[in-house]
Amino acid sequence: MSAHPTASRKTAQPAAIARWLFVVAALILLMVMVGGITRLTESGLSITEWKPVTGAIPPLNNGQWQAEFDHYRHSSQYALMNQGMTLAAFKHIYFWEYFHRLLGRIIGLAYALPMLWFFVRGAVPKGQGPRLILLLVLGGLQGAVGWLMVKSGLTARVNVEPAMLAAHLAMALLLMGFVLWTACDMRWFARNPAARAVRPTFWGVAALSILFVQILLGAITAGLRAGYVSNSWPLMNDHFVPEGIQWWGSLWLTLTSDHYLVHFLHRWWAWGAAVAIILMAKRLQKMEAPGLAFALLGLVMFQILLGVATVVTGVALPIAVAHQVSGAALLGLTVAGAHRLGLGRARA
């Protein structure tokens, strides 16, 4: 009677691990949304210290609030942009940065504690433990990059370095993509215990790469506040190629400093990403995955409409946040599509 429970505890549970990882991916998507709000409300520099443990407790009385406000009033953002800000206004921007950091801590616990439980129970499929540990390490690195991003804006700037913002968002989306791919693998293992991890196909890698470049351009656009340089579409200030673009010098330095260039590239690279996803959807239809194909087509069109709306509304906060979240969701759905293409090859 006692041997059976022990045996069951040592049985791999890839289906349960898949469900857990899908929840973690959803939390990362929520984190992207809150991060977008934090950026658009200029809240990211309101907390000027990084306290991974004690920072989870917000100010609890007037004295603590005043101390936090005093720290902020010594920052360059306050000196250059927010002189005269009231404590009530500070509390508003503090909330979004605090919530963003708190959510990061919650995601860390939501990943680390169940992972430990699965390891203790012997529920991790053979050979998959290192991958789960690597995801934990990447999550920790993402938190460190987040602080480095904040630190980049605390010296003689009113916002963070665009390159650091792009790196922070890119790492978050890469992490979400890896979590989703692992979740899809675990679901595959649940149906086929002897199966190996699915490898991406050429078309899956191509679609993901083109889309990721588009999202990276969007992150740099956001970091430079380049969305504000034009509120017309399809022309930019009455020109297809806007005046003032600098085509010379280091490409990366130009991309992270030229508002017009990065806006222009983000605006038109979107169509390349759309074509790549449409081609992926056609392949998925042939593989008898019409639901995933139609979801990809619908979401890519919706994302383009949100992008246009973001431009013509002058980067209205609700639309801009929806555009960022929709882009992250599109990346997640493209990961699922790429995994399905790889699964089709594995079955062949």
Mean pLDDT of 110-124: 95
Mean pLDDT of 96-116: 95
Residue 239 DSSP one-character state: B
Per-residue pLDDT reduced to its tens digit, 243-260: 766 666 656 667 777 888
Mean pLDDT of 94-113: 94
Label residue 7 by pLDDT band (50, 70, 90): very low
pLDDT of residue 157: 74
Distance CA 107, CA 134 (A): 15
Average pLDDT value for the chain: 88
Distance CA 313, CA 305 (A): 12
Mean pLDDT of 187-212: 90
Question: How far apart, in Å, are the Cα atoms of 165 and each of 36, 44, 103, 142, 329?
Answer: 11, 10, 18, 12, 19
Tell me the whole-structure pTM to 2 decimals: 0.89
pLDDT at 60 over 70: yes
Mean pLDDT of 91-110: 94
Contact by Cβ (8 Å): 235, 267: no
Distance CA 49, CA 53 (A): 12
Contact by Cβ (8 Å): 144, 172: no
- For tokens 């630190």, name the residue: 151
Query: In the chain, where are the structural domains located?
Result: 10-183, 198-348
Cβ-based burial of 85 (10 A; exposed 0-12, middle 13-18, buried ≥19) = middle
| Phi, psi angles (nearest 5°) of residue 50 | -115, 110
> Token digits for 101?
């950091």
pLDDT of residue 244: 65
Q: Where is average pLDDT lowest: 122-131, 233-242, 249-258?
A: 249-258
pLDDT of residue 6: 42
Label residue 148 by pLDDT band (50, 70, 90): confident
pLDDT at 227 over 90: no
Distance CA 347, CA 176 (A): 26
Mean pLDDT of 182-192: 93
Instruction: Find the DSSP H helices in the chain.
Output: 3-9, 14-40, 62-73, 76-80, 87-120, 129-152, 162-191, 202-224, 251-255, 259-286, 290-312, 317-347
Mean pLDDT of 101-114: 95
Neighbour count for residue 7 (Cβ, 10 Å) = 9
pLDDT at 317 over 70: yes
| Phi, psi angles (nearest 5°) of residue 239 | -130, 145
